Amino acid sequence: MDRQHQENSYLSRSQYEKQINQVLRHFPASQLIVFKSEDLYANPIYILEKLEYFLGVSINKNIDNSHVHKGKYHSVSILEIEKVKSYLRSKLETTYSYMESLYGITWK
């Protein structure tokens, strides 16, 4: 996969408002709950409890997430990370505004 395709693919998958609007064409907003993956990774039990309440069901919370993101990754400099964040902020301002106004989700 070439770099340009990879960047565009990542960017398009990050435009959550487009994906959410597709779901809302078929389901009422009251049937949709949205979480940040970062919150799920950081505190899975809390997110599962919120999901459990939303769905009105009981969920097995005996989760071992110690293997999550434990693969081998090449190191990325702080400069590279900031460059990517800056790029995404410039391209995803509509997404950020949408997610904050409808769901209170921010990446700031």
- pLDDT per residue over 54-107, tens digit each? 999 998 877 777 776 677 778 889 999 899 889 888 999 999 999 999 999 998
Which residue from 23, 36, 27, 33 is spatially nearest to 96, judged by alpha carbons? 36
What are the b/e assignments for 12-34, b being 16+ CB within 10 Å? Answer: eeeebeeebeeeeeeeeeeeeee
Residue 20 has pLDDT above 80, yes or no: yes
Average pLDDT, the chain: 86
